[in-house]
Structure 1
Amino acid sequence: MRAKKSLLILFALICAVGVIAGSYLAGTSRARDDLRLQGQRQLQLMAPDLQSLLQKYETLPFVLGFQPDLIEALAYPSDARAISRLNSTLKTIQQQANVGAIYVMDRDGLTIGASNWDLPLGFVGKNFSYRPYFDAALRGRAGRFYGIGTSTTEAGYFIAQPVYGNGSAGGPVTGVVAVKISLADFERTWRSSDDAIVLADRSGVIFLSNRPDWIYRSLTPLDAATERQLAHTQQYMGKTVTPLSGQPDLFVTQSVGQLGWQLMLFPGQSRVLRAGLQWALAAVLLLACAALAGWASHQRRRRLEERLASRAALQKAELELNDKIVERTQQLRTTNQHLESKYAKLQETEHLLRSTQNELVQAGKLAMLGQMATGITHELNQPLAAIRAFADNARVFLERGQGEQVAGNLGHISEASARMGAIIGQLKGFARKDEALGTVELAASVRASAFLLESEFRRHAVTLDIDVGVDNLKVTGDSVRIEQVLINLLRNALDAVEGAERRLVAIHLARDGDSALVGISDSGEGIPARVAAHLFEPFFTTKPSGKGLGLGLAISSSIVQAMNGQLTAHNQTGGGARFELRLPLQHQGA
């Protein structure tokens, strides 16, 4: 059964290939016939135009043969005035008739006058006795010839007629007058056609075409006699005529002119191939439709059989499903209760974790305040001592009645009190436990953090360079926690330059795309390679015992990550370390 089915499929495939191949051959044959018919019609429109041009100037040399100026110049070739009148007459007629050139030759073929006498490549003094048209006109017949000019190297169609000495036909022939006509306009017109168009002489040599590489190629190999004739007449001077290779077999032709010319058109083979492919594609589509129809009928029968089988299976599955639903429902109820219990424990753990983290951050702030206590105490003692001194002086001045000095001392007391208030207010704001998120202006946070550590930097003789040239950089976060991070980074930088020869800490605020960037750099020894990998780990520190627990950078990194930011560190090229705090900028209207 399987072998029989395979044979049927193979037979169907062979028949399909045969139908497709037959459709392709029928399409190409039909297209060839249509193209031949179209090409013949096109040639029937083109040939009369070319024939009309050739006949248009047929009588011009005959009429010129009776011009008195031509007859007189041939009779007296040594008369300069007669030759001058001849040249002037020929030039005027050439311009009016719009031909390539008009020239007169004596019986020996020597040109005595021409319309182009004043041009560098003029015909005067040239001998054309080897041209067939000269020999025919000298015998009293019209001479016709197409070839490349030996003087100008420009191809053209030549028509020649005899000039009679007595001014009447039948008298003695004293010379020949010839007219050169250019056919270049036809060649330019043909270039707009997609099909190849050629004009070949009686020997099969192509001399006009819209395919430049076909010109001066022969349709068939030339015999020796023809080659000798072309060499003698110099018809295609300087051109080597070789057979045309790869000549299309589809063409139409029509005779033109009196020299046995053939006007030929080669329709594009692509249209034949396209037509064949279209017919083959149509056959493929028809066969595909037939195959789809057969396949659909077969599938329909199979679906009916499967539907009956599936209906019985569904009834059986329905019974089994009801039993499983009851079992699964009980399992889901038990699992749900278990998940609810785990979720409650998870919420409790998360609440404990957040509370511990906040307490750890607050402990970090208080520890930092403890580290700054010495500097803050020194900072507060100075204004307190000043207040005591100014108060004592004011009492003495008051007893003496010197009011102006009393007022001055009171002003100094007020300024010192204001500075103490600013320091204490900054400390209170930094020490408070605040978790409210809001708009934070980073420039203000940078200045506030530097203000709290100002005395520490002065006491350790460290230069603090603050650059907040970019104002109005706002982020969403907690100002107190941002200041905690900045103070921790500034204190680490202060510790890093403690033993350095050049003590400098710089803080720089800038905008980087959609983020605000705070860079804190120092002139210390930098971050050792073994430390860089563990820099932000809890309880990892390089400071001596009693100077830190190793929680500062870990807490700072946690705070920054909670505000969708990033805290990084690296060594600078010129020496020292640089910590970068990057926070996303607050969008306008947020």
Structure 2
Amino acid sequence: MMAGILKFQLDYIYFFYGASFIFLGAVCFSILKRGAVKGSISWFWLALFGFIHGINEWIEVIVIALGDALWIKVLRLAILILSYICLIEFGRRNTFLGRDKKVSPLFYIFPVILSSLGFWFGLEGFSASVRYGFGFTSVFYASLVLLSHARAPDPPLPFSSRIFLRCAGGAMFLYAFATGLIVAPAHFFPANIVNTDTFLRLAHFPVQLLRGALSIVIAVSVVFFALKQSAQSFVKEDNRELRHVKVFFMFYCACILLFFCLGWRVVDYSGRRVEQDEDTARHLKTKIFAQFIYMSANKLGAISALAGSPDIVNIFSQKSLSSADISIVNERLDRYRAGIGADVCYLMDNSGLTLASSNRDTPKSFVGKNYAFRPYFKEAMNGNKGVYLARGVTSNERGIYVSYPVFGSVRKAGDPPAGVIVAKGSLDSLGKYFKTYQYIFFVSPEGVIFVSSRPEWVFRSITNLTPGQKEVLRISRQFGDGPWDNIGFEDMNKASGTVLFYNKLFRFADEGVDGLAGWKIVFVDDKSSVALTRLMFISIFSIFFLLVSVVSLFFFKISLDSIQISASEALYAALVDGSPDSIELYNKEGICIYINKHGLDMMSWKKEDAMGNTFEESWPQPYKETAGNAVKDVLAGMPRVFEANMPRSDGSNVIKYVTLVPIFDLRGKVKYFGCIARDVTDDCRTRERLVQSSKMATVGSLATGVSHEFNNVLEIILGNSELAFASGDPVTMKNTLEIIIDSARRAAWIVKTMLDFSGRSYDKRDRVDIAEIIKQNLVLLDKVFETNNITLETHFKDVPRVYCNPGQLSQVFVNIMMNARDAMRGLPIKTLAITLDHDVDRSEVIICFKDTGAGIKEELKSKIFGPFVTTKGILGGGDDKQPGVGLGLFVAYGIVKQHNGNITVESEEGKGAKFCITLPTFAEENTA
């Protein structure tokens, strides 16, 4: 009973089945489409499988309502194969054979070969073999992937995540058997034994219901697995919100199940209501036609009056009949035929011989014919009214025969009838009425069609007659000579009012005819609205399901994302607050809207000291213009970097290395800008000490040459002093004194230059001529170059002045030239070329120092500007005893970067080196 009920609910079961897989696809897309870590499951292909497979099952719903066709079968089969291919890809892309190797596409060979074997058995056989080859293989493979990931050690999964993944894998494993082994019936093993019909008989419910339930289990397990995995990325404070999301999802699942149950009831009620209305209409039609036949037979029953007519009765009392007697009888028969609307009225004697007939003058006259074998004659001879429907033996025309016994004029108890009077009526008018319908029949108790809306089906059967029944009909000649084959009706179920006709389910109603035992009107309705009504309500529920699912899953995804965003914001806030740098955020008006904790501590501020103030207001007077110009540049989209000395609230100073970066909106316009400031006070002090140490080392290297120069000056002074002392000539004394004065001035200039070079360099900048700085440095190094036989070449162009610290740049130039001296030691050719140029397009001054020294090894070029990197002495791996500590270029690099410039090196081992320094010429007074 239950199996029969569920069988007629296949459309809704397919709807449930398809919705389950579409729900699975939506889950995989909306929840698990997140940044996956290496080794985690890629859910894209499983989601695609869910959508495609669900759509394929929904097409089945349409087929049940509107009927099937060859192209629809081919389309469904193609979609089915495509869905299974997606599932195979899910397995392939989540199976790793080591070192990121995946399963080869040759894996498809097995399912393709197995599926192609079904071609021998037609489209149905191919459909079954596709489920064997692709269906079972793909789903079984996917289940193994899920189960293997559930127990994979890398990455390890929490216990509850493993449980959910195992539930999904276990349900997928069962689904492999439900979809891949239980197939539609086919004419080969095992499809002829293990199929959907066998399952229905044994389990009393369709296998599609099991498939849908398993898909729901898979989807729910995947969702909870996703929730558990997402929880791993949340901080503990977010788990409470995540629990709310879980409760919401469980409530959503309960509502979905309630929705399916409610939909089942609504669709079933609507279908049954329409079915009842249609069944009532069908029965009404059959009643009308049955009443019509009854009235036709009843009208023919008026012939009973003629059976008692003296003219008819007396004819059987005579020993011989004259032509006059026959004429009287014929006149009576003609009058009654016309009166009751019969086709033929005729009179037979007790032997069945026709004595008189109203069709006596036609080629198909009954006169002289014996019809003793007819049941209606036998019934009348038994003294009863006879009603019989048959095909005429003489006329070959169908008719309804009504017979009455005719007794003699002197009747005694127990006397048999003397004859039989018969009226034959035509059913042609009934056939005309039938033609207004597609399928309506007037059938005999055996199931033989006597009158039909399809004339070609007359004298065929609506059931499969047994050989015994056919033999009885052949003997009676009631419906001709046969063969009375079935028109194609199968599984005609009177209880449900359904019949299967060419694999399509039809509704029918039948109605017996009073007075005709076993005869009935059968009306088969090929235009039932039940399936369409069910399809309409299923479509409404489908749309509602999709809308609710989309909205709910969208809300669910937003809730999950909001929790993750909150967690990320808390995490990033913790990272920003824990940063050792000051991080500030300003709107495009330059007002501070955020500052981290370290930014407040750096300046000894309270939050209200920074929040709501503009960027310029936070700087002391000497730097307000600098800050204002920097804000203008960053709001124009240009990042700015500068270093400044800033007083703290407690009175101490802090040197800040400030970076301003623009923050753009979606339209590409600056909406905010960020300020990242680093406390470089200690770094600057360390750098100053390194610079001073480097200067002292350079001064030591210069001491010999300078002392020699100084001795020369002293000798000039002493010699001229002695000459002046010994000479009494005023003119000679004046000349010697002038020489002494010039020499003293030169000695003072040398001392001043050395003191300027070796003294502490304060960060005081001005616009200076780079050529003059280089020339002053060359004076210091003149004796060094002379002693080392170094040829100096200078090529100075007129260049703009540069805003810089002269002492710091002197340190850079001297360091590079002293390195060039060391690099050329011991070489036959020693040349140092210094060039000064101007790049107008880039507003830069370019200073290059090119030597003919030993060059720089390739492995050192990338780190030459790092601390403690040297090519001299033991630390540099050389044989020379000249010490090298590796701070010269490091200090030079830092000074150049402080001036917003750049320093590069070009060198090949054995071919010298070229150091180029670029310094901006644009106004930098407001950026220091």
Question: Which TM-score applies when normalising by structure 1?
Answer: 0.46
| TM-score computed with the length of structure 2 as normaliser | 0.31
